[in-house]
Amino acid sequence: MRIATYNINGVKARLPRLLEWLDETKPDIACLQEVKSQDDGFPVGEFERAGYGAIWHGQKSFNGVAILARNAKPVEAQRALPGDPEDEHARYLEADVFGLRVASIYLPNGNPQPGPKFDYKLKWMQRLRARAAELMAAEIPAVLAGDYNVIPTPKDIWSASAMLDDALRQPESIAAYRTLLAEGWTDALATHYPQGGVWTYWDFQAGAWQRDHGFRIDHLLLSPVVADRLIACGVDKDHRGREKASDHAPTWIELAA
């Protein structure tokens, strides 16, 4: 089984690239972020014609997450991250599909920091930790996949001295991410590529793609029973280099049956 996460950076603007990727790689489950579409504008018909059932949590012009399943319809389990009824950002969606609980996550960026946006990011990560603990306590086989907007270690960026003032590299958000790992979640790519040097994002600015100035912020965290099934993982880097592509590359895992 192949499960992928892909910050598409606008599902309508990138739809040809997204459908191309689905056709070429055929993931069984695809978690999308930054859909940037209201619920009634989500192109569900296009995905159904491509053989994918879909659920989505949209928001006009910003954020938005979705879960696609090949030849199946995901069963929604949780819409929006619990813990703050006033948070209207479409950043979290959870579904049951193929015997797994899968979450599509678009964690807040947090810039500029310090400030209210970074405070919101840290509070959101506290809420994610609480939800992850509930899934862990219930022993639900789960994958928490998405754009975490956290660069976990200096090995996960092209230069250890780059972006030290950015919210993606602050000690507080890195500590919150490591807490998830300490509580039993496995970072799939970090497990298979302990040497680092694997990027999932290249900015559109400053020739980052051409210079391979990338970093890793798209993660798949696995509960223990799912981690035991992990046999492969990687990044579909070539899709980042295509015309009118997202600034992220699809990131995936493969699980034994």
The arithmetic mean of pLDDT across residues 197-212, rounded, is 96
HEC letters along 70-130: ECCCCEEEEECCCCCCCCCCCCEEEEEECCEEEEEEECCCCCCCCCHHHHHHHHHHHHHHH
Give just the sign of the alpha carbon dihedral 157, 160, 163, 167.
positive
Number of domains in the chain: 1
CA distance 61 to 33: 12
Percent above pLDDT 70 for the chain: 100
Tell me: the pLDDT tens digits for 117-173?
Answer: 999 999 999 999 999 999 999 999 999 999 999 999 999 999 999 999 999 999 999
The reported pLDDT for the residue numbered 57 is 96
177 is catalytic: no
HEC letters along 179-232: HHHHCCCEEHHHHHCCCCCCCCEECCCCCCCCCCCEECCEEEEECHHHHCCEEE
| Residues flagged as binding site for Mg(2+) | 7, 34, 147, 149, 247-248
106 is catalytic: yes
Residue ranges making up the domain that contains 46? 2-255
Q: Which of 106, 148, 177, 201 is catalytic?
A: 106
Q: Which of 147, 156, 187, 218 is catalytic?
A: 147
The reported pLDDT for the residue numbered 61 is 87
| Residues flagged as binding site | 7, 34, 147, 149, 247-248
CATH no. for residue 204? 3.60.10.10
28 is catalytic: no
Tell me: the pLDDT tens digits for 16-36?
Answer: 999 999 999 999 999 999 999
Tell me: the pLDDT tens digits for 235-248?
Answer: 999 999 999 999 99
